[in-house]
Chains A and B, each alone.
Chain A
Amino acid sequence: MNEVNNKVLMQTHKLGKTFSHGGTQQHVLKNLDLTLYHGDFTIIMGSSGSGKSTLLYAISGMDKPTLGEVLFEGQDITAMSNDQLAIFRRKNCGFVFQQIHLLDTMSVLDNVLSSAFLVQKDRAGAVKKAKELLSDVGLDDSIWGKFPAQISGGEAQRAGIIRALINSPKAVFADEPTGALNSSAGIGVLRVLTEVNKQGQSIIMVTHDLKTALRGNRILYLRDGIIVGDLRLSPYSEDSGPERQQQLQSFLTELGW
């Protein structure tokens, strides 16, 4: 548990997700009971097909589970309609995708504002905040007016993170945010996420990369739709010694990673 904060962010009870394909059913998540906390940088790991992304989208209100419930700060989001979920997401969640998913028909700044204006009434304030946040992650005004196809993947993903953060969500859900980036761009993105987590932002991130996972302070390991491992680590810092990596390595090795 995060030493700074032990307040529950969300809980799942008997969470299940089943996909049907031409008559055959695939149970991707099976009776998951899980509690996530405010301020944590939670990492979800597991082999391919273990249900990592499915879990991420089920607990974030992006997709509806087949069974069980998800309580976000005590509120059951599984009972919500699609439109209620949309309103829930815009107020509480930020999303960072592996494929970045910026709207390629809008400029970088408009991508961020398209999210900001949904929630914030003070438009001028939102514009100011968006510009500040973009500048904070190294995207200066020469980038703001550009379209996603005109900037690098790393720049685009940083813009994606700012879009996720612009409404100060209670949780940021990141699905392999560095998966499509080269190493240096990936590090830049992780720095941003680490920084905002230090400022108290809860992050739930899916990854299969060990170095990326090291950024988290809680590691959940998923196998065949069940959480089979839950490791607590000290919060990440640039000065963290090799023992932190060894701790994670042995945790994963134990689970057959």
Chain B
Amino acid sequence: MRSLIGKLTWSNIRKRKSATITLFILIMIAVLLLNIGLTVSLKLNSFQQDKISKLNTPDITAYFPLNENVKNYESLVDSYPYTETWENEAALLLPDVKINYGGNNTAIAFLILNKDSQRSMGLFNTTSRLEPADQNTIYLPYIFHGGSGYNLGDTISFEYGNNQFTYTIGGFTEEPLFGTLTNGALKIFLNDEGYKQLEERLGKEVQFNFLSVQLNERAKEVKLEQKLSEQIFGSGNTSSFLVMRTDGGLEGNRVFVNILAAILIVFALIMVVISLIVIRFQILGNIEDNLTNIGVLKANGYTSRQIISSFLLQFVSVSIMASIPGSLISVLVMPLVGNMISSSVGLLWPTTFELLSALLSLLIVTVLILLVAYLSSRKIRRITPIAALQSGLLTHNFKKNHFPLASTSLNLQFALSLKSLFRQTKQNFMIVLIVAGLTFSSIFCSILNFNFKGDTSAVLDLVGLERTNLQLDLKKAGHDQGIFAEVEAMPEVQKISILEGRVASINDSSFMLRVSDDYAKLETQTVYKGRQPIYDNEIAVSGVIAKMKNKSIGDEIPVTFNGVTQNYLVTGLSQQINQLGMVASITEDGMRKLQPNYSVQSINVYLKEGEDSQVFIQKLEERLPGQWNVTNILDMLESTLSTFTAAVSSMTAVITAVTIIVVSLILYLVIKTLIMKRKREFGILKGIGYNTFNLMTQITFSLFPVIVAGVVLGCLAGYFYSDSVFVLLLSSLGIYNVQLAVSLPQVLLLCAVILVVAYAVSMLVARRIRKVSVYDLIMD
């Protein structure tokens, strides 16, 4: 009996070759996407952890200017009860390096270390290395290769201050924290000779220390980071410094890769759902077409179970056969995805085949297909042999005569198209669902792409970075605050704002405390509910903190800084990806309640439209010489985003292409099935004088309104609900509200492209009717 089921299965497949091929392609694409998405999701975390173990990346990293306070910082770390080991090495911080990155001149911060220094943590490791090296050899993070196209042995030039530097690239390093543009400075290595030459050339101003700490109870204790930050602040430091926990830094690097992986998985699941809908459509069509055969089989003693088994075998074997090339293609595609990930996280993605993901994808797809095939073919049980032999006479449904020709004023072809359109409601529903799902995915990606490449404000709001041209840090503390007014009065300046950050804590949980004199002046608004603080007793906390501490607007919350604790009233909830969402905002006066001698040390400068940052910096230096450390924030933001734009663009291109391919495949399948099923009808129509074009138009217009409906639905859903989906993707990061920028022309263009392709494909496939002679159609 088993071989009989096999024979039945084989005859089903042979009878519907093109439908089987279409399904094969759909499942293959679904498995391919699912496999890639799962591989990335499953491996991303462990891959970063493996690199951390390999490079012995410290739990806490800090860099700060070399000065007389360094000993105090060291003794703090040394005396800290949970410190397992620590080391401090000399470094050079170049906060505003002008360099060509990804084809654009941009500003990046360089933290330069001596490759030949002894270190046990944060080891120097290159993917490949150029020998021999000399004082002009530089070792750059891997993103310069993966994200910007530099190669081993290339010459790289950059400008710092008014000095031009040129080096030969001797290797690309793997660095989990300072290997990307998301965590502040990039870690660069020079060999001993080159390092000393640079140090001598740039002088004391760039001399920093790089501190690495390994903790023995890393999960529990978070205080060292805060204490160190407080001490650095407390010692009157105003220059750039950073104290970072590895967990936070890693999370920051991972955010966008996680988003992309999530999009990939969601899209893959949409593909799986489409395959399932197509399978259901095929099985029901198959049953309808083969009713007589089913009747004969039943009459001859086949059980319903045997006939159903043949359907199950048919679809499961197709899904398994399609999964194999799907998984194999993913092996070929994975290096490209891996390169995108490497460019985003700064670590070389291993291109090994992930058996677990492949098996998981196969399992998910096969089980779902088995389920749908079973549910769809179950109705065979209810069909009696006699009903089947009478070709479904009992199932015949006399429907309403839509658009009666006698009373319609519509064009004849159009009226006939509408008649068939209203006859195939189940199929229409399927097409609307598929097209809407695909259109939504494309629109969503296109909107995402626009937010990374066009209007980046929403993404920056999410990240929490202030959209300013320049950040000016006073070199010396305690300066007369009137100097800020002087900067604001310069003709190039549109406005200035204050936004500083301190590490504080709420009931032992560390967070970034932002301080501003006027939050309304800021360009990046992070509050999604309530408002920013205005008075000294007010605070806006992030949703993550509110949830963690179970507080909401109107509650009081205790904030501790430098040993002082004050209660603040929560006035608003904010969100941002940066700092893992552990952020709160108070006013300048509010800060003075924690630190009475608090004075502002840095300002954001927003230049007027058309003003050049470099020219302004020069003028500023002429006017107020030696006062400032300047960071070109806008350039840095752009270069940070640029590491993700390539990935988002590729994703958009892939999803749009897959959408168009799948819509075409579905149309091909539907129209082919439709021609086959309605062969007799088309034969009669041809016989009574309808020509090929009439019939092509009828076929196309019996489907096109459904496609239009799907596209419109998908488009509207994309336009109105992309924000919600994005929030869903980011919900684990404490994002509760997003308002993505939408380019209506782009959305409409994309919809138009899908419609044009759908129309062209429909007409093209419907053209098949031309080949069939009317005689064959009627006589078949």
Contact = CB atoms under 8 A, between A and B. Distances in A.
Given A83-B692, A101-B684, A118-B688, A64 B406 contact: no
Contact of A82 (B406, B687, B770): B770
A145 B412 contact: no
Nearest to A118: B689
Contacts of B680: 101
Which of B686, B688, B694 has the most chain A CB within a 10 Å cutoff? B688
A127 interface: yes
A103 interface: yes
Contact of B419 (A62, A102, A105, A145): A105
Interface in B681-734: 681, 683-694
A91 interface: yes
A151 to B, nearest CB: 11
B396 interface: yes
Given A103-B685, A147-B398, A86 B690 contact: yes
Interface stretch (B45-53, B111-119, B771-779): B771-779
B396 A89 contact: no
Interface string A88-125: 01110101010001111111011001110111000000
A97 B778 contact: yes
Contacts of A86: 686, 689-692, 694, 774
B775 A114 contact: no
A163 B688 contact: yes
A149 B395 CA distance: 12
B778 A110 contact: no
Contacts of A63: 773-775
A251 interface: no
B161 interface: no
Contacts of B774: 62-63, 82, 86
Contacts of B694: 86
B224 to A, nearest CB: 78
A69 to B, nearest CB: 18
Contacts of A90: 688-690
A164 to B, nearest CB: 8
A87 B689 contact: yes
B423 interface: yes
A203 B694 CA distance: 27
Contacts of A250: none
A87 B691 contact: yes
B693 A110 contact: no
A82 B691 contact: yes
A236 interface: no
Interface in A155-205: 163
B401 interface: yes
Which of A86, A103, A104, A119 has the most chain B CB within a 10 Å cutoff? A86
A113 B684 contact: no
B265 to A, nearest CB: 42
B691 A110 contact: no
Nearest to B424: A105
B405 interface: yes
Given A63-B774, A147-B398, A149-B396, A113 B405 contact: yes
B739 interface: no
B563 interface: no
A81 B739 CA distance: 58
Contacts of B681: 103-105
A249 interface: no
B285 interface: no
A239 B368 CA distance: 73
Name the interface size band of chain B: 20 to 34
A224 B224 CA distance: 104
B406 A109 contact: yes
Nearest to A108: B401
B423 A105 contact: yes
Given A147-B398, A149-B398, A105 B420 contact: yes
A152 interface: no
Contact of B404 (A103, A105, A110, A149): A110
A106 B406 CA distance: 12
B121 interface: no
Interface in B80-101: none
B416 interface: yes
Which of B405, B412, B690, B691 has the most chain A CB within a 10 Å cutoff? B405
Interface in B730-780: 770, 773-775, 778
Nearest to A164: B688
A34 to B, nearest CB: 19
A115 B687 CA distance: 10
Contacts of B691: 82-83, 86-87
A82 B686 CA distance: 9
A207 B683 CA distance: 22
A110 B422 CA distance: 15
Interface string B664-694: 0000000000000000110111111111111
A118 B405 CA distance: 12
Given A89-B689, A106-B419, A114-B688, A64 B773 contact: yes
A110 B405 contact: yes
Contact of A110 (B401, B683, B688): B401
Contacts of B778: 62, 97, 101
B420 A113 contact: no
A62 B412 CA distance: 22
Contacts of B398: 147, 149-150
A89 B770 CA distance: 16
Interface string B400-436: 0100111000001000100110010000000000000
Given A63-B773, A101-B778, A106-B419, A145 B692 contact: no
A83 B697 CA distance: 14
A117 B683 CA distance: 18
A102 B680 CA distance: 10
B684 to A, nearest CB: 5
Which of B684, B770, B774 has the most chain A CB within a 10 Å cutoff? B684
A217 B693 CA distance: 39
A104 B778 CA distance: 14
Contact of B688 (A107, A115, A130): A115
Contacts of A118: 412, 688-690
Contacts of A64: 773
B401 A103 contact: no
A11 to B, nearest CB: 21
Nearest to B416: A114
Contact of B687 (A62, A87, A127, A145): A62
Given A90-B690, A103-B684, A150-B398, A109 B773 contact: no
Contacts of A117: 405, 412
B758 to A, nearest CB: 24
B470 to A, nearest CB: 71
A236 B692 CA distance: 40
Nearest to B683: A101
B427 to A, nearest CB: 14
A90 B693 CA distance: 14
B590 to A, nearest CB: 75
Interface of A: 57, 62-64, 82-83, 86-87, 89-91, 93, 95, 97, 101-107, 109-110, 113-115, 117-119, 127, 130, 145, 147, 149-150, 163
29 contacts: A57-B775, A62-B775, A62-B778, A63-B773, A82-B691, A82-B692, A82-B774, A83-B693, A86-B689, A86-B691, A86-B694, A87-B689, A89-B687, A89-B689, A103-B681, A103-B684, A103-B685, A105-B419, A105-B420, A105-B423, A107-B401, A107-B404, A109-B406, A110-B404, A115-B689, A118-B412, A118-B689, A147-B398, A163-B688
Given A87-B691, A109-B404, A163-B688, 4 more contacts: A82-B770, A82-B773, A109-B405, A145-B401
The 7 closest A-B pairs by CB, nearest first: A90-B689, A63-B775, A86-B691, A113-B405, A83-B691, A107-B401, A89-B689
